[in-house]
Amino acid sequence: MKRIINTDKAPAAIGPYSQAIEAGSTLYVSGQIPIDPATGKLVEGSIKEQTTQVLKNIGAILEAAGYTFNDVVKSTCLLANMDDFKEMNEVYASVYSNNPPARAAYGVVRLPFGALVEIETIAVK
C-alpha cells in the first residue's frame, strides 16, 4: 500500500511526480530544489542559502508524513558545481549533526531552474 504525501509547506511538484510516497514504513521524498513554497520561485543566493531552503522543504515534507530528520536513512545530493560541496556540506551537517544518514553526492551538468543543489531523501520508521 502506498500513500501520497503532499503539503503546501513545500513546493508543488513541477512535473508528473509526488512530493513523497510512503510505502509501508519507508518514505521516499522526491528531489527538492530551493524553491520557496510561499512564492513558487527559486531562492536566489549562495549554495548555503539554497541548501537551507532545500532542507526546509524536505523538513516540511517529512513533517507532513509524520517523520523527522532523525528517520532519514539515505540522502542523495546533486550539485551543479562540485566546488560548492564544502559549503553545502556545512549546512547539511547542521541538520544531520547526530547519526547522519548514508549519502551520495554527485556533480551534474544542470538542475531545474538553474538551482545549485537538489537533495532527495529516504526515511524509515
CATH class name, domain 2-124: alpha beta
Q: How far apart are CA 125 and CA 119, in angstroms?
A: 20
pLDDT of 102 above 90: yes
pLDDT (tens digit per residue) in 32-79: 999 999 999 999 999 999 999 999 999 999 999 999 999 999 999 999
Q: How many CB atoms lie within 10 A of CB 19?
A: 22
Quick check: helix, strand or coil at residue 30?
A: strand
Q: Residue 22 — pLDDT band, cuts 50, 70, 90?
A: very high
> Is the overall model pTM greater than 0.85, yes or no?
yes
Please give the share of the chain, as a percent, with pLDDT higher than 70.
100
Close Cβ partners of 22 (under 8 Å, ≥ 6 residues apart) = 2, 3, 5, 28, 65
Q: Domain ranges for the chain, please list them.
A: 2-124
Q: Which three cell numbers stand for residue 101?
A: 544518514
Using DSSP, state whether 56 is helix, strand or coil.
helix
DSSP string of 62-124? HHHHT--GGGEEEEEEEES-GGGHHHHHHHHHHH--SSPPEEEEEE-S--GGG-SEEEEEEEE
